[in-house]
Amino acid sequence: MKDNTYKTLLLTVLVIIFLILLHFLPKIEVSGVELRNINILSDLSVKSETLKDVIPKPKLPNGIIVRDKDGNIVNFKEVWPKGTERILDFSQGKACGMDHFYERLTSLANKEAQPRPVRIAYFGDSFIEGDIMIADLREMLQQKYGGYGVGWIDAGNDLNQYKHVVHNEFSGLIEHMPKRPDSYNVAEAGIAERYYTMDGTAEIKLSPFELHEYPHTEKWDATRLYFRAKRGTNVSFTLAGGRQTNVQVAPSPKVQMVEMKGNTNGATIRISGSPTLFGTAQESDAGVVVDNFSMRGSDGRSLANLPPAMLKEFAHARPYDLIVFQFGVNAVDEKTTPERLKKYISEMNKVLTLFRQCFPETSILVMGSPDRGSKTSPDGTMKGIEMLVGYQEQLASDAKVGFYNLFRSMGGPGTMVRIVDEQEMGTKDYVHINYKGGKYVAGGIFRSIVAGQQNYARRIKIYE
């Protein structure tokens, strides 16, 4: 009898070779749908690390060595009330850490005279658009430490109409920003990554928002305009009640500011000539002012392109005591990998380097990404968010600045799905909060700032 055993063996070998070749096939899409990848070798290969396996865990900052007036080391421990997220300060008391900001707040808490308000620049994406979350944080800080006024308002941004803190009308202005690259020249940009050219005479009107939700923004002491007038300009102010002033501005290539002092709840600014406008500010000359610099869709990296000379001019014309960077949600999607986030963090490091150079005494706080919900994720949070927050903490550690874990402060994994579905605090995309959610999130940040300031005050008393 003829032996055909070899045929069975040959067929088995051919099947194995065929399956191995399938393993190396590129991904295939049919009508836009990606077919499942065949990995016959998956059980033989080394398991790849999960996203949670690669979350950086930087060493917590050491406590600042505290000495009394005689130079003796004192056992000092920070106090963070239960449920209050700790603000990590990796600076060890050096420049760009949190001490500068805490010092200014402590002066307000002690009712000491101030040469200017304590200013916070809060950079972020659409999470804070329309002053969501920032409006409540501002109101809480002003209620505790004093101050009033909404602070910065972009000169001609249509989104101003959605803010519940100010009623803004404008005419004769053309907006330029990174999201409209055809008309945007970063060399002309202001600190908010926007600038406005004029179409004839420009006019800006400001008054309190009709719903009166935030009483501390309904009046102000100083009405200010920020611009660049290479050929000079004329600016006139009219405050509520008819008070007026007119300012003739000399030509200058630098960022300039003109103002009209006077307690008011309304103002009209008219500008002639052809200056480049940046924004207005309605604020008190003491207390706390919070400027909202939001950019829809931004992941923050474009801030590294801002001209250093312009930022230094703003540091002089409008000095800040704390600069916050809250980005990251737009850097994460379902296909996020550690390699992508490492590249993103390295580019965000350029942003921190630039702002540290231009605002060398200002406290800088990296705000970890908020939660981003996902119905398909086991814990309700889009994969990659926790890894991103870990990388952001490492970024703050390397840059020797402050860090705040907003993800944990909000409630950790599954927060967005929970607060949207159960408490109607946001939209069904599980990315954006609404004003109700903004108040919830702002409350956690406010409590942490107060605890940080009070820890600083206790520490300083030991020195004294």
State pLDDT tens for residues 422-442. Answer: 999 999 999 999 999 999 999
Helix (H, G, I), strand (E, B) or coil at 459: helix
- pTM equals 0.86
Name the one residue in this structure whose structure tokens are 């070998």. 13
Tell me the percentage of the chain whose pLDDT exceeds 90: 74
Per-residue pLDDT for 196 more than 90?
yes
The residue-averaged pLDDT of 188-206 equals 95
CA distances from 47 to 52, 307, 340 (A): 14, 46, 20
Rounded Cα distance, 55 and 385, in Å: 10
Q: In the structure, what pLDDT confidence band is assigned to residue 14 with cuts at 50, 70 and 90? A: confident
Q: What is the pLDDT of residue 5?
A: 62
* Extended strands (E) in 208-339: 220-228, 233-239, 244-249, 256-264, 267-273, 276-283, 288-294, 322-326
Domains of the chain: 1-47 (no CATH), 49-147+286-464 (3.40.50.1110), 149-285 (2.60.120.1360)
Q: What is the pLDDT of residue 208?
A: 87
Tell me the percentage of the chain whose pLDDT exceeds 70: 87
CA distances from 99 to 70, 133, 159, 314 (A): 22, 24, 34, 22
Rounded Cα distance, 405 and 418, in Å: 19
Per-residue pLDDT for 256 more than 90?
yes
Per-residue model confidence as pLDDT tens digits over 285-328? 999 999 999 999 999 999 999 999 999 999 999 999 999 999 99
Rounded Cα distance, 151 and 226, in Å: 12
Q: Which two tokens stand for residue 365?
A: 């706080």
Backbone angles phi, psi at 372, to 5 degrees: -130, 115
Per-residue pLDDT for 165 more than 90?
no
- Residues facing 77 on adjacent strands: none
List of residues 6+ apart from 139 with CB closer than 8 A = 214, 215, 216, 217
Rounded Cα distance, 306 and 298, in Å: 14
The residue-averaged pLDDT of 331-345 equals 91
Residue 352, H or E segment? helix 338-358
The residue-averaged pLDDT of 331-352 equals 93
Q: What is the pLDDT of residue 35?
A: 46
Name the residue among 436, 372, 363, 445 with its Cα closest to residue 409. 445
Name the residue among 195, 312, 313, 318 with its Cα closest to residue 255. 313
Per-residue model confidence as pLDDT tens digits over 42-76? 444 444 445 556 677 777 776 666 666 666 677 77
Q: What is the pLDDT of residue 13?
A: 72
Between residues 76 and 359, the one the model is more confident about: 359
CB-CB contact of 204 with 155 (8 Å): yes
Backbone angles phi, psi at 75, to 5 degrees: -75, 95
| End-to-end Cα, the chain, rounded Å | 106
